[in-house]
Structure 1
Amino acid sequence: MSGTRGHRGDARDGSGRVSRRGLLSAVGAAGLTGLGAGGLGGYASAVAVGAAADDGSALASVRARSGPEAGRPPALRTPTPAHVQVLAVDVRGEEAAKVRASAREVLDVWHGEAAALHERGLAAIDEGAPSEGLRPASLGVTVGLGGSLLDRAGLADRRPPHLAELPEFGADDLRPAWCGGDLMLHVGAEDPVVVSSAVEYLLRRAGDRARVRWALPGFQRSPVAAEDHTATPRNLMGSVDGTVNPEPTEPLFDSQVLASHPEGALSWMDGGSYVVVRRIRMLLDDWFALETADREAVIGRRLSDGAPLGGDREDDRPDLAARGDDGEPVIPRRAHIRLASPESTLGARMLRRGFNYDLGWDAEGRRQAGLLFTAWQADPRSGFTAVQTSLDEGADALNDFIRHEGSAVFAVPPVPEDGSGLAGTLL
């Protein structure tokens, strides 16, 4: 949730309806299936929603979310979709050859089905689909590979060191059932029914070759409900989430977010991206028991507008050297934004995509809600791990109000130029 702005487009015919010709034009020849040169492991639909006045409204903005951006996976498009579901899938099989064969079959199926989903829509290819009558809603499918898959498939020599397991952190309360996985399936759209039905269909097509290890649905505020649909969204703690993010237009974006493996056994990931997925439960009862000023001190930003303490606007650079009349730092020593800043992490940056989750209450009356956090980077060791280590060493004040309960790292490779699918150059 970076607060970056998406470009506008129009795939309507003269009546204001989304036409097939307009849809194809909006995506373009290479964007239809995501199989063209330089496309990462994902596929994106042409339009989000239709029948909206082209007046700069939230609906018009949502409708304009079309196609992959500059060859990047749908999971990195801006603006981000209102709904996602992230799943980890384990490939069945004991022997390496069987694991490789099953993984290739699953990836090939998803490769072809994702293209069909976005070109024709689920209702057109699956009779009685729950999404009957719904537009594609900016549907985007992104697929990643876990290190466990490479090990099990006898391809440990082709596992990048970037895909190593994460170290233990102070805020970790990890549940094994919510960690790891051979494959990641990341599906996003503006409508939860579109997301759910697409996930169900893709898993059904994978058949008994794979089983779900864990899954978590996430959501953001709906652009239609927002007073300002261009504003940075807020998480369930009420804080703006995603203010400081690398912009795709920045010169350093590619080096910070996209991996470089030009030669040798790791070349299958050259131009791809590594994503860290974390299930972060928020202790909301404890959080909202704090006074507003205390909550702001924990984060280091004003709750009202997201500006760093001592600043005027959300986009202001935090002044970590500023002192108050009492001589203490304006942004407290344990404030989250101080410890996560590039100044504290040797310049570490990653593209953060956070979504809320709310699963209600467990049998003991504890709230099961928080953040489905995804961090995209060229190397998790110098990105996510560097930031999380700084938060640990500085005793991040936010750690008193969150628990990291799930964790996984996946490699999202580029789609080969020959259109052979995600598994073509590896499996």
Structure 2
Amino acid sequence: MSETAREPGNDARSGGSPEPGNEVRGGGRRVSRRGLLSAAGAAGLTGLGAGAVGGYASAAALGAGTDEGSALASVRARSGPEAGRPPALRVPTPAHVQVLAVDVRGEEAADVRASAREVLDVWHGEAAALHERGLAAVDEGAPSEGLRPASLGVTVGLGGSLLDRAGLADRRPPHLEDLPEFGADDLEPAWCGGDLMLHVGAEDPVVVSSAVEYLLRRAGDRVRVRWALPGFQRSPVTAEDHTATPRNLMGSVDGTVNPEPTEPLFDSQVLAAHPEGALAWMDGGSYVVVRRIRMLLDDWFALETGEREAVIGRRLSDGAPLGGEGEDDRPDLAARDDDGEPVIPRRAHVRLASPESTLGARMLRRGFNFDLGWDTGGRRQAGLLFTAWQADPRSGFTAVQTSLDEGADALNEFIRHEGSAVFAVPPVPESGSGLAGTLL
């Protein structure tokens, strides 16, 4: 739920793609920085398995010389007019998602690699079929019968645990290290970690749910679900202004000051740089932190409006920083009121999450609400399914969360981080459809 600032004059809600020609080296072949955003679909392991999805295939070598699986890759299936970016980073953000983590079965490294290869091979092919034909055409009697694909997009991330278990620990970037403990953490181990992340988004919840069930069914007993969480945003159809920043269940705008692919600093903020060596497979990729954040909504709404605004540091009515005129105004952290007190309180979330407090930390945030009703003890199970995409979680999410902890973020009194994971999403080369045949 943290904020990261953009450069003045950039529109945080603008679309578009980076300028062409911004290329980097990755895995021994030319990989464009647009590669990460070049097509939408499923990510996979080359060597554990890679395939063509919707005419797009990719691989970035982890390093040469191993026969058992020495490369990682990601594959994005073409997904509608916004084939310039993966579903997880698509603009506008889909109204419904489900994010889940699975563990790959197997005790020995070779068994883990074999199972992962088979699962990813299946997911690659099925992701293309789901978009091009729709689930009902692929799976007779599917719940989505009569529904269009609804901008269905599938993205897969790799957990550090998979690399360790598959005998590829030397190819695990330090960026993929486990997150430290934070003051707002109340983590449930069953809702943390995972070998693979499956991120499915669409404009219709039935399409999302049906696609997730189908992909897991096709994976069979080679994986088991570790945790899963469905999320949602407001529907563009019901929004008075579909370009406005969505609100979370606390009533606050959520997603202001987000970097976008059109901004000059997007690459350095969101895309990883690993140009050489054993980590080259992630050059131009992105690391995503996933957090399950429960909101203490009864306590929150017991506050007066002004008290809630002081906690966040923004007006509830329009999202403007306190003392500012509009949502896109840069928070003035030096402003003082007539009594000499900061206009934006010292413990306000906006202040502590700002680049001035985090040594310039920035990340691309995608937040979704979740509402699972009430548990048997009468406790509300609702909050934020938070995903943060960045070049390096250590200087991105971890830096921001540490600042929130050390500054005693006022928002921490009303939230609990109950689930946590970090995954790597490798880049997508501009071309390479012939590579899949070689690998498989």
User: Deviations along 1:308-332, whole A, 9 cap, x unmatched?
Assistant: 0000000000000000001000000
Higher relative contact order structure (alpha carbons within 8 Å, sequence separation ≥ 6): 2
* Matched-pair contact (CA < 8 Å) for 1:11–1:23: no
Report the alpha carbon displacement of residue 414 of structure 1 after superposing the two structures with TM. Answer: 2.1
* Matched-pair contact (CA < 8 Å) for 1:322–1:330: yes
> Could you say if the C-alpha distance between residues 413 and 54 of structure 1 is closer, same or farther in structure 2, counting changes exceeding 3 Å?
closer
* Matched-pair contact (CA < 8 Å) for 2:57–2:435: no
Once residues 45 and 75 of structure 2 are traced to their aligned partners in structure 1, the CA distance between those partners, rounded to angstroms, is: 19
> Could you say if the C-alpha distance between residues 122 and 338 of structure 1 is closer, same or farther in structure 2, counting changes exceeding 3 Å?
same
* Matched-pair contact (CA < 8 Å) for 1:259–1:271: yes
> Could you say if the C-alpha distance between residues 386 and 41 of structure 1 is closer, same or farther in structure 2, counting changes exceeding 3 Å?
farther
User: Deviations along 1:95-152, whole A, 9 cap, x unmatched?
Assistant: 0110011111111111111111111111111111111110111101000000000001
Report the alpha carbon displacement of residue 185 of structure 1 after superposing the two structures with TM. Answer: 0.1
Report the alpha carbon displacement of residue 18 of structure 1 after superposing the two structures with TM. Answer: 33
Say which SS state the counterpart of residue 389 (structure 2) adopts: strand
Report the alpha carbon displacement of residue 226 of structure 1 after superposing the two structures with TM. Answer: 1.0
Runs of at least 5 residues in structure 2 that lack an aligned partner in the other structure: 14-26
Number of residue-to-residue matches in the alignment: 426
Report the alpha carbon displacement of residue 67 of structure 1 after superposing the two structures with TM. Answer: 3.3
Report the alpha carbon displacement of residue 260 of structure 1 after superposing the two structures with TM. Answer: 1.3
Once residues 429 and 36 of structure 2 are traced to their aligned partners in structure 1, the CA distance between those partners, rounded to angstroms, is: 25
1:216 is aligned to 2:216: no
* Matched-pair contact (CA < 8 Å) for 1:321–1:329: yes
User: Deviations along 1:397-421, whole A, 9 cap, x unmatched?
Assistant: 0000000000000001124566579
Partner of 2:8: 8
Once residues 197 and 169 of structure 1 are traced to their aligned partners in structure 2, the CA distance between those partners, rounded to angstroms, is: 35
Once residues 331 and 294 of structure 2 are traced to their aligned partners in structure 1, the CA distance between those partners, rounded to angstroms, is: 27
Once residues 148 and 315 of structure 2 are traced to their aligned partners in structure 1, the CA distance between those partners, rounded to angstroms, is: 38
Once residues 426 and 193 of structure 1 are traced to their aligned partners in structure 2, the CA distance between those partners, rounded to angstroms, is: 35
1:353 is aligned to 2:366: yes
User: Deviations along 1:183-234, whole A, 9 cap, x unmatched?
Assistant: 0000000000000000001001111100100000000011111111111000
Once residues 224 and 56 of structure 1 are traced to their aligned partners in structure 2, the CA distance between those partners, rounded to angstroms, is: 45
Deviates more, 1:57-66 or 1:318-327: 57-66
* Matched-pair contact (CA < 8 Å) for 1:350–1:383: yes
* Matched-pair contact (CA < 8 Å) for 1:123–1:131: yes
Report the alpha carbon displacement of residue 55 of structure 1 after superposing the two structures with TM. Answer: 54
Deviates more, 1:342-351 or 1:58-67: 58-67
Once residues 31 and 422 of structure 2 are traced to their aligned partners in structure 1, the CA distance between those partners, rounded to angstroms, is: 38
Once residues 2 and 222 of structure 1 are traced to their aligned partners in structure 2, the CA distance between those partners, rounded to angstroms, is: 23
Once residues 186 and 167 of structure 2 are traced to their aligned partners in structure 1, the CA distance between those partners, rounded to angstroms, is: 31
Deviates more, 1:245-254 or 1:402-411: 245-254
> Could you say if the C-alpha distance between residues 63 and 93 of structure 1 is closer, same or farther in structure 2, counting changes exceeding 3 Å?
closer
Partner of 1:21: 34
> Could you say if the C-alpha distance between residues 345 and 220 of structure 1 is closer, same or farther in structure 2, counting changes exceeding 3 Å?
same
Say which SS state the counterpart of residue 292 (structure 2) adopts: strand
TM (norm. structure 1) is: 0.84
* Matched-pair contact (CA < 8 Å) for 2:39–2:86: no
Say which SS state the counterpart of residue 197 (structure 2) adopts: strand
Report the alpha carbon displacement of residue 3 of structure 1 after superposing the two structures with TM. Answer: 13
Once residues 69 and 229 of structure 1 are traced to their aligned partners in structure 2, the CA distance between those partners, rounded to angstroms, is: 17
Deviates more, 1:48-57 or 1:172-181: 48-57
Say which SS state the counterpart of residue 107 (structure 1) adopts: helix
Say which SS state the counterpart of residue 200 (structure 1) adopts: helix
Once residues 182 and 66 of structure 2 are traced to their aligned partners in structure 1, the CA distance between those partners, rounded to angstroms, is: 48
Say which SS state the counterpart of residue 418 (structure 1) adopts: coil
> Could you say if the C-alpha distance between residues 187 and 256 of structure 1 is closer, same or farther in structure 2, counting changes exceeding 3 Å?
same
Once residues 251 and 90 of structure 2 are traced to their aligned partners in structure 1, the CA distance between those partners, rounded to angstroms, is: 24
After superposition, the CA RMSD in angstroms is 10.7
Partner of 2:160: 147
* Matched-pair contact (CA < 8 Å) for 1:282–1:369: yes
1:413 is aligned to 2:426: yes
Q: Segments of 4+ in structure 1 off by > 3 A?
A: 1-12, 14-71, 415-427
Report the alpha carbon displacement of residue 27 of structure 1 after superposing the two structures with TM. Answer: 9.8
Report the alpha carbon displacement of residue 264 of structure 1 after superposing the two structures with TM. Answer: 1.4
> Could you say if the C-alpha distance between residues 62 and 182 of structure 1 is closer, same or farther in structure 2, counting changes exceeding 3 Å?
closer
Report the alpha carbon displacement of residue 6 of structure 1 after superposing the two structures with TM. Answer: 18
Report the alpha carbon displacement of residue 15 of structure 1 after superposing the two structures with TM. Answer: 48
Deviates more, 1:56-65 or 1:85-94: 56-65
Deviates more, 1:31-40 or 1:172-181: 31-40
* Matched-pair contact (CA < 8 Å) for 1:11–1:19: no
Say which SS state the counterpart of residue 331 (structure 1) adopts: coil
* Matched-pair contact (CA < 8 Å) for 1:97–1:153: yes
> Could you say if the C-alpha distance between residues 47 and 346 of structure 1 is closer, same or farther in structure 2, counting changes exceeding 3 Å?
closer
* Matched-pair contact (CA < 8 Å) for 1:18–1:50: no
Once residues 423 and 337 of structure 1 are traced to their aligned partners in structure 2, the CA distance between those partners, rounded to angstroms, is: 46
Say which SS state the counterpart of residue 279 (structure 2) adopts: helix
1:336 is aligned to 2:349: yes
Once residues 261 and 423 of structure 1 are traced to their aligned partners in structure 2, the CA distance between those partners, rounded to angstroms, is: 23
TM (norm. structure 2) is: 0.82
> Could you say if the C-alpha distance between residues 56 and 265 of structure 1 is closer, same or farther in structure 2, counting changes exceeding 3 Å?
closer
Once residues 355 and 298 of structure 1 are traced to their aligned partners in structure 2, the CA distance between those partners, rounded to angstroms, is: 20
Deviates more, 1:49-58 or 1:417-426: 49-58
Say which SS state the counterpart of residue 18 (structure 1) adopts: strand
Say which SS state the counterpart of residue 320 (structure 1) adopts: coil
Once residues 216 and 348 of structure 2 are traced to their aligned partners in structure 1, the CA distance between those partners, rounded to angstroms, is: 42
Partner of 2:320: 307
Say which SS state the counterpart of residue 301 (structure 1) adopts: coil
Report the alpha carbon displacement of residue 72 of structure 1 after superposing the two structures with TM. Answer: 2.8
> Could you say if the C-alpha distance between residues 55 and 329 of structure 1 is closer, same or farther in structure 2, counting changes exceeding 3 Å?
farther
1:47 is aligned to 2:60: yes
Partner of 1:68: 81
Once residues 426 and 53 of structure 1 are traced to their aligned partners in structure 2, the CA distance between those partners, rounded to angstroms, is: 12
> Could you say if the C-alpha distance between residues 286 and 40 of structure 1 is closer, same or farther in structure 2, counting changes exceeding 3 Å?
farther
Once residues 438 and 409 of structure 2 are traced to their aligned partners in structure 1, the CA distance between those partners, rounded to angstroms, is: 42
